[in-house]
Amino acid sequence: MKKTKLALLFGGKSNEYTVSLHSASAIIQNVPTEKFDVILIGITKDGKWLLYDGDVESINNDTWYNDNLNQVMLSMDNDFKGFIKLNGNSFEKIEADVIFPVLHGKNGEDGTIQGMCQMAGIPYVGCNMTSSAICMDKEFTHIVCEMAGIKTAPFIAAVKSSTLNTKHLYDECLQKLSLPLFIKPANNGSSLGISKVRNYEQFEKGIVEAFEFDSKVVIESMIEGFEIGCAVIGNENLIIGEVDEVETKNDFFDYVEKYTQHNSKIHCPARI
């Protein structure tokens, strides 16, 4: 049986670069090698695409790029599907049947990589460009859900600018929303840059922190309840995962808790 040439992308220009390395390490160790020939392509924090053929542990501990690796680029040629490996003044073609972008956050889950794959004409794992872009932007997710009749937390979006008055924004939030509030970068994941605020001092600090991750923020009323999750895989025929529940002693399931769970626990199945 002919093996599928699977190009797995890891790393990326994102605040969630390290998360991607751990996700990729777990996936690489579980790819059925009798079905797939895996091509590993690492993307550094500054955006270089490098062909990697080393061990998984070096990916996990972020030393994978220390070797003398060749740069690669995604081919946009309709007559060739895959990557171009650069060898000094020459190049080599590397075919790929499918791309698996194991990337987190900006430039990985926001439709950018998905758009490149679509332009290259190579199938890829995950949601398409449009749905990736909408789901990554919390304001657009709110708008689409509300138009579809799906309840979401009351929210206000604000864009970073020289004319933004934080005190006026806080007063607007008090009028339209209710304390406590959550402040979130509109385009970011892993709970990075998120704050739960109960007064103006915390609000001011939270706005500054959120703008470090994105030029737009979403401010939401807190909803009393607990968090559940469910994985869905497939296109026409869907596989529905077990529903899980997050239990945390913290104010919310923040970045540290998501990847250490010092004060949190995952119940699967959820207690519902």
- Whether 189 has a pLDDT exceeding 90, the answer reads no
Q: How far apart are CA 69 and CA 61, in angstroms?
A: 17
In the 8-state DSSP scheme, what is residue 65?
G
Query: Residues 89-112: what's their mean pLDDT?
Result: 95
Q: What is the H or E stretch that residue 8 is in?
A: strand 4-11
- Whether 31 has a pLDDT exceeding 90, the answer reads yes
Q: How far apart are CA 129 and CA 135, in angstroms?
A: 10
User: Comparing C-alpha atoms, which of 47, 37, 44 is closest to residue 8?
Assistant: 37
- Whether 33 has a pLDDT exceeding 80, the answer reads yes
pTM: 0.89
Question: Helix H segments across 95-179?
Answer: 112-120, 129-136, 138-147, 166-176
Q: How far apart are CA 15 and CA 198, in angstroms?
A: 27
Q: Where in the chain is the domain with CATH 3.30.1490.20?
A: 137-221
To which residue do tokens 């990916």 refer?
Answer: 59
Q: Give the pLDDT band (50/70/90) at residue 209.
A: very high
- Give the model confidence (pLDDT) of 220-259 as tens digits: 999 999 899 999 999 999 999 999 999 988 888 877 788 7
Q: What is the largest CA-CA distance in the chain?
A: 65
First to last CA, the chain: 44
Q: Where in the chain is the domain with CATH 3.40.50.20?
A: 4-126
- Give the model confidence (pLDDT) of 130-163 as tens digits: 999 999 999 999 999 999 999 999 999 999 999 9
Query: Residues 56-63: what's their mean pLDDT?
Result: 95
Query: Residues 191-209: what's their mean pLDDT?
Result: 95
Please tell us whether the domain made up of 4-126 is placed in CATH 3.40.50.2000.
no
DSSP bridge partners of 67: none
User: Comparing C-alpha atoms, which of 125, 128, 96, 103 is closest to residue 115?
Assistant: 128
Residues in contact with 139: Cβ distance below 8 Å, sequence separation at least 6, in sequence order: 155, 157, 186, 216, 218
Architecture of domain 137-221: 2-Layer Sandwich (3.30)
pLDDT of residue 128: 94
- Whether 1 has a pLDDT exceeding 80, the answer reads no
DSSP bridge partners of 99: 7, 124
Q: How far apart are CA 266 and CA 251, in angstroms?
A: 16
